[in-house]
Structure 1
């Protein structure tokens, strides 16, 4: 095992940040973590905390505090970012792009390695993508901001890794998550029988990864001292298909005393535009997101790239059945996030 490191964790109050803190506490012998957050509390922090504004020079710290922080830190886990979809491109610039530039500057001063939390959705904008992503796709501006941040790191010369998770669900064992995200929101809506149909592209996979697998991988990279590599934190071809996902929603509804009739799955490429546009506002919003996320997967080849076999071998990430983890996440969300 390598010497104990000091890690600056940006975005410590977010879903990934709080999961990393939980996993590090479970390990007991992990790195010393300085939890950086803009304003939200970080209940899982057991070590020092610091208020950092990723949109401001020196993270909003005075020169002496910034220099002192750089003098302590060996590694940065950069998970701070704007993850909401559907916003204008300029909204992502200050934190997702310029915030990453500031992390690079800090890492240079600290002599630190950066572990960057990107997204598997960047595959949809790759030059090798088999189909071009629509300009008005709800995810596009967010994906582009992560793609640009990755490029900044590549061009910087700073030692770094890139982790590209797909949509995250709760802890694989307990379902815990600090807050509901898109999978939980969409699943709850579908599970209540609100969808008149499911717009999806044929053959796509429903790729959801438990948040603790991502956290364990990042902490494993720190333990081994890795300072390069790009890792797709996805199930790839192991991921469930859409029919299996819907069957699990039916099972979950039955366990809660509800009968859920499966809505028809409609080929998104053959869908009449009025089929979504003519629905009620909330239904229109959810159906549009389903269609656009399906398009992202289709543009990624229908199955997301994966590094899961490598992550299991190199970092000891355990095998977790995605269907079991999804059901556990649904159960936790129903009990705690409703």
Structure 2
């Protein structure tokens, strides 16, 4: 049996933290919360404030009892701006490191697999940003900087890098929809006539519960500087397969989804945007540019690394069929929650 730990968990009310929390039941968990409540022992604080936003007595008490920190707290909003993103994701991580040092604790830091895709952003690639409010570079810069802080902290640490989080594997359930959900919604509604992606580009995703199971396993392993990739890897679907999944589920639900064209991003910049996008109203241009910014991170057929199969006690690597079924479950959940269906609920769909 693994030794019982006292864990300070940040981001416990987030998409991933809320799935991890119930898996840590054999340990004592103290959640650092900002404004929400979670079903656990909790302390109200703020990653953006010195000393984690708690008073001296609380800070010292936490340092006395905590032996492990799991740092899930972050902003994933690509439109938050460089300063706000760095304040929470990078300087917030520095404050967590300072606490872990005071507590002589181990640190599990949750980063993102897309630190491996920095070269694909439109800004780095030298492509026009247009009127996009979504700037992935700010998020990726903050995560890379935070990883370096962790590596050089002198603490026993582990870094986990999940890819895009979708709903739970079986039900598709997720407390808050993510960026990929917005693209799937637009596809189902027929408001995206084209996707700026090569058909073979890989859309790496990981179900929320699978990522949480991997993190729970990491808590019970040595913190020896390992960096784990929580991804679909070779099993990740291509852009054309994601579109085909949307089509299949739309047909099942009676949703008349048009077929979007998958267009090379260079062609979009050279031909499509000047003729079809520039004349649109500002709000429509902004939505299109935000989509360009987000899909750029998927614009390669090369798979992300995946170390799920190396993780003792973890969920194991996903097969392509398991990923396909998880994508279907997430689409079904999205259709139900957003009331997109125009016919009956199909047999086996998440209610």
* Same fold at TM > 0.5: yes
Structure 2: gaps of 5 or more residues: 340-351
Matching residue of 2:45: 52
Contact 2:198 2:262 in 1 (8 A): no
Inter-partner Cα distance in structure 2 for 1:301 and 1:190: 21
1:116-135 alpha-carbon deviations (Å, 9 max, x no partner): 11111111237x99x94448
Contact 1:186 1:286 in 2 (8 A): no
**Residue 154 of structure 1 is aligned with which of 142, 151, 154?**
151
Contact 2:235 2:318 in 1 (8 A): no
Matching residue of 2:7: 7
**Residue 111 of structure 2 is aligned with which of 118, 124, 130?**
118
Computed over aligned residues only, the root mean square deviation of the Cα atoms, in angstroms, reads 2.4
Contact 2:202 2:301 in 1 (8 A): no
1:188-237 alpha-carbon deviations (Å, 9 max, x no partner): 11111111211114531011110111111111011223342111111122
Contact 1:200 1:290 in 2 (8 A): no
1:32-53 alpha-carbon deviations (Å, 9 max, x no partner): 21121111222xx2x3111111
Matching residue of 1:309: 309
Q: Which moved more, 1:195-204 or 1:286-295?
A: 286-295
Aligned length: 327
Deviation at 1:160, TM superposition (A): 1.1
Inter-partner Cα distance in structure 1 for 2:283 and 2:34: 31
Inter-partner Cα distance in structure 2 for 1:306 and 1:33: 28
Is 1:173 aligned to 2:166, yes or no? no
Matching residue of 1:40: 36
Contact 2:198 2:239 in 1 (8 A): no
Deviation at 1:98, TM superposition (A): 0.9
Matching residue of 2:16: 16
Inter-partner Cα distance in structure 1 for 2:196 and 2:175: 29
TM-score by structure 2 length? Answer: 0.86
Contact 2:308 2:314 in 1 (8 A): no
Contact 1:199 1:287 in 2 (8 A): no
Inter-partner Cα distance in structure 2 for 1:278 and 1:96: 37
- Superposition pairs of residues 176-195 of structure 1, within 5 angstroms: 176-195=173-192
